[in-house]
Amino acid sequence: MHSSAFPPFNAPPVPEIEHDRRLVRRYLLQSALRFNAGSLLFLSLAIALLPLGLGIGAPGDSTLDKLNPYVVGGVLLALTAWLALISSGIARAFLAKLGDEGKALCAEAMASTVTRRIHVPFNPYTTFDLCTETLSGLALGTALGYSGPPAFFHDPFKGRIVLGRWRPLPLGRHVEVRVATEPGPACQIELRCRPGLAWFAIQQGESLQAAETVCAQLRQTLERHAAALAAARRERELERTSLQARLSALQAQVEPHFLFNTLANLKYLIRTDQQAAQDMLDHLVGYLQNALPDLRSVSSTLGRELDLVSDYLAVMRIRMGERLRFEVAVDEDLRHLPFPPAMLISLVENAVKHGLERASRPGLITVGTTRERGGEGELLRVAVVDDGVGLTEQAGQGTGLANIAERLALLYGRAAGLVVAPGDGCGVRAVLTVPVAGRDA
């Protein structure tokens, strides 16, 4: 049993598409003029070449003079009318096809040249490379109905790309893409579909379809590239967040023994030496004012770290008496430079704890800074030198030096370093090196 070709009685009515009558009249007239112009141009060229092919029109030959102009005019008129009927039939068939597809006739569907513009958030060089990769591929040729990749031409200096079905490109229907060459963070793509010799043919939406296809392919590539960049930015942000969390965890490992021991000494001095207690309290307040902002921060300055060291050593001098002397020398022009927090104070703590406290004689701690030019830029070197007992098995154990080395690797990679070596004659020399350009310390 054959199924009925008619829709069921309860099916919703199919809406009829009504074309704009002015566009329809314009389209029929345009189709007749284009088709007739192309046909008559081809016919005129054939008539002009016909005498050469038949060997007529030689000197003394009167064959062409015997042609009746009225007959020729009538033939041309009849031919024009016949071509007009053919063009009208082709145009009306296209209108019927649009109606079956549920589309109305628009100005771009009957135009021989269609233009599109795409705003791109990338620079012109990246945009041109993406357009070249997309427009020269087999996928676009298949989408345009070609048997293979499109015939392709590009000029990176002018930001111009042309593609079509065959060469020479200007003779056939082709698509021209121009990328704005003005430098900047964003640019614009102008896409123009040109007809070539197809201008003389009846336009049936080929230019519009080609422009939409190329535009869709470009948008897909640009969106995919934008999504990849967004994913990379999110990954970098996650890495940065993880890095900050690790740095905060490492900074939290600084032992609080200094604060507890200082408070215990302060309690003792209040009962025995009030002036020394007052001096220790002043330096402790200065130490905390410089240390507390760094507890949750991954950035500081060299000046603030040196002030922290000075207050710490002043407190320790009150506790140790004549056994501790110190010097902090720094160029004022270097105090504003970025410097990672809680590193320099760790080196100074190691010098006091493992160098001078274990010595049976007075000692000196010197802190100096220099700015030098390295292989990849300027470097800031901070040296902590003591004349204590020198390197021992206990020196550097715990979280001190290992903490500094890990934080330097996280912040600067191989651009920074920590060198701990024996001093001149006795003691230890620790040199901390960081790049001056490291603004994210």
**The pairing of beta strand 151-155 with beta strand 114-120:** unpaired
Q: Quick one: 90 and 197 in the same domain? A: no
Residue 410: predicted pLDDT: 79
The amino acid occupying position 136 is S
* Higher per-residue confidence, 46 vs 161: 161
What are the CB-based long-range contacts (under 8 Å, 24+) for 133-140? 133/221, 134/217, 134/218, 134/221, 135/161, 135/163, 135/175, 135/177, 135/214, 135/217, 135/218, 136/163, 139/217, 140/213, 140/214, 140/217
Is residue 344 in some structural domain? yes
Q: Quick one: 301 and 418 in the same domain? A: yes
Residue 289: predicted pLDDT: 73
Specify the CATH number for the domain of residue 296.
3.30.565.10
Weakest-pLDDT range from 49-53, 153-157, 236-240, 344-348: 49-53
* Higher per-residue confidence, 169 vs 247: 169
What are 310-332's pLDDT values in tens digits? 888 888 888 888 888 999 988 88
What are 331-369's pLDDT values in tens digits? 888 999 998 887 888 888 888 888 888 887 888 999 999
Q: Residue 242 burial by CB count (10 A; 0-12/13-18/19+): exposed, middle or buried?
A: exposed
The phi, psi pair for 382, rounded to 5°, reads -120, 120
209-213, 263-267, 386-390 — most confident range = 209-213
Cβ pair 151, 167 in contact under 8 A = yes
Q: Quick one: 280 and 179 in the same domain? A: no
Return mean pLDDT, the chain.
81
Domain boundary among 174, 193, 228: 228
Q: Quick one: 147 and 181 in the same domain? A: yes
Which residues are within 8 A (CB) of 172 and not within 5 positions of it... i.e. 6 or more apart? 164, 165, 166, 196, 197, 198
Residue 439: predicted pLDDT: 44
Q: Quick one: 325 and 419 in the same domain? A: yes
0.85 cut: is pTM over it?
no
Cβ pair 324, 365 in contact under 8 A = yes
Cβ pair 313, 365 in contact under 8 A = yes
**17: pLDDT strictly greater than 50:** yes
Q: Quick one: 36 and 118 in the same domain? A: no
Is residue 341 in some structural domain? yes
**Mean pLDDT value of segment 251-272:** 69
DSSP letter at 301?
B
Rounded Cα distance, 408 and 52, in Å: 89
Cα separation values, 150 from 81, 181, 186, 394, Å: 38, 24, 28, 74
Residue 297: predicted pLDDT: 59
Is residue 139 in some structural domain? yes
**Which range marks the domain in which residue 408 is found?**
252-435
**Mean pLDDT value of segment 152-161:** 90
Is residue 440 in some structural domain? no
Is residue 235 in some structural domain? no
Q: How many domains does the chain have?
A: 3
Q: Quick one: 276 and 387 in the same domain? A: yes
**Mean pLDDT value of segment 379-401:** 75
**Mean pLDDT value of segment 108-121:** 92
Q: Quick one: 376 and 427 in the same domain? A: yes
What are 211-259's pLDDT values in tens digits? 999 999 999 999 999 999 988 888 887 677 666 666 555 555 555 556 7
Residue 117: predicted pLDDT: 93
Q: Which residue has the tokens 């309690």?
A: 267
Q: Quick one: 161 and 309 in the same domain? A: no
Q: Quick one: 154 and 191 in the same domain? A: yes
